[in-house]
Structure 1
C-alpha cells in the first residue's frame, strides 16, 4: 500500500536565502520531517484564492494538517482586535477555511496545530481569547522570541487524544491566543491554568473521523503520537475510498 499523502498548509512571508530576499511560501521543516518519520508523504499547500481549488486539492490528499502561524483575523469571529493581536493573514485564513470545508465534505482526517486549532474553532462558529496572559497572569504559553514554553497538559480519559499521547505530557507551546468556544468539538486537554490545549470532533453523527486540534506543537517533540495517529487515519481513509 502506498504511503498516505498529507497536506501541510504554509506561511506566505518575506524570506531570505542565498542571494534572494522575496516573498516565499514556507513552513518549518519539522512538520514535513515528522510526517515522513511516521510513514506519510508531506505535500506543502500554499494559499490559493482560486474558486474550487480547495476541493481539487483535498481530492488528492489522504490527510490534512492546518499548521501554526499568525493570529486569525478577529473579524472572522466578530471581535475587535486586541492591542496584542497582529499580523493576521486574510488570504491564509480564507484558504484554510476552504480546505476545512472541503475536508469535512469528504471525511478527510485533519489535525490542527496551534493556529490550526484556532482556525478550526473559528470556522465552526467559535471564538478566541486574544491574549492568554490577560486570563492566566503569566507568559508561560509563549515566553517570547523563538522559544517554546514547556506546558504540562492533562488529557480527558477515553478520548482520541488521550489514546494517542497518554494521560499527562509536557508539550511545547508558542501561543498568546487560545480557543474560548468550539461548537461541535469536545474539550479534551487542559493546562493547569485552565487553558484549553486540545479539542476533537464530537463523534455523534460524525462517525469515527479523525479531526483533532491541539494548541501545542507536536512536530517539535520526540513523541509524535498525534502525527502518527493522523497518518494511520489517513492510510485507512486512502484504503477505503
Structure 2
C-alpha cells in the first residue's frame, strides 16, 4: 500500500473546446497544480464541483486539501453587494469549496488555500474581502500583464507557521489577484503581508494555511511540501491498527 498522501485539489467548471470537440462543459485545472503536489511527494486527485452535501464524504477519502485559484468569490457570501469589477461567476465552486473547507477544518485535515482559495477560507471563517484592491492600495502591482503572472515581495510574519516555513525577511512570489482579505476571519492570523500592507497569507488551527500568491507558478516547494508532510502524518495515523 502506498504511503504517499492523497491531496484533493478543487477545480474550475467552464466551457472549453479541444481537438474536434465543440465547446462543452469541462472540468479544468492548470496542470501546474497537480505537478506541484507530485513534486512535493503527494498524489493529486481532482475535485470537480459537486453537491456540498457530499463534502464530508469526499474529505473522508483524502489526506489533505488544496483549494485552487479562480473566479471571484460571490460577495453575497460575506454580506456585500458586488463591486463593478467583481466577476463572481462560479456559484457551484463557491458552495462546493465552502463545504470542503468546513468539512476539512472540522476534522483537522491539512488545508492550503491558494489565491481564491485563501479568500474563500477567510470568508468561511466569517471574514470579508476587498473587492478591488487597486481602489485601496492605489496601484495594480498585484496583477500581472494580460495572460501572465506578476511578481512582488511578501514579508512572512516571524513566529507564525508560515514564518517558520519561509524564514527570510522577504520572499518574491508569483501573483495575480485584484481582491484580498478585508475583515479577517475568526480564528485566523495574518502570517504574511505585501510591502503595501496587503494581507498575503493567513493561517488557522493545525495546518490551515492560505496564501494569496500562486506557488504552483514558481519553483519554491516549501509551502506545498509542508502540506504534504502534514497530510502524511494524517495518513500514517489512519493506517495504524487499533487494538
TM-score by length of 1: 0.94
Q: Is the 8 A contact 2:105 2:208 kept in 1?
A: no
Question: Alpha-carbon deviations, 1:170-202, whole Å to 9, x = none?
Answer: 00111000001222110010011111000101x
2:100, 2:75 → 1: CA distance?
19
CA RMSD of aligned residues (A): 1.1
Aligned match of 1:70: 71
Gaps (5+ residues) in structure 2? 239-243
2:60, 2:149 → 1: CA distance?
35
Aligned match of 2:118: 117
Matches within 5 A, 1:8-87: 8-20=9-21, 21-49=23-51, 51=53, 53-87=54-88
Count of paired positions: 234
Aligned match of 1:91: 92
Give how far 1:166 is off: 2.5
1:154, 1:70 → 2: CA distance?
25
User: Which deviates more from structure 2 when the two are superposed, residues 5-14 or residues 218-227?
Assistant: 218-227
Aligned match of 1:101: 102
3-state SS in 2 of match to 1:181: coil
Aligned match of 1:126: 127
Query: Structure 2 vs 1, CA of residues 233 and 138 (structure 1 numbering), >3 Å: closer, same or farther?
Result: same
User: Which deviates more from structure 2 when the two are superposed, residues 153-162 or residues 139-148?
Assistant: 139-148
Give how far 1:26 is off: 1.1
1:118, 1:50 → 2: CA distance?
18
2:188 matches 1:185 = yes
Gaps (5+ residues) in structure 1? none
Within the candidate set 181, 195, 199, 1:196 is matched to 199
Query: Structure 2 vs 1, CA of residues 162 and 57 (structure 1 numbering), >3 Å: closer, same or farther?
Result: same
Within the candidate set 235, 240, 243, 1:238 is matched to 235
2:120, 2:36 → 1: CA distance?
22
1:63, 1:37 → 2: CA distance?
15
TM-score by length of 2: 0.94
Give how far 1:50 is off: 5.7
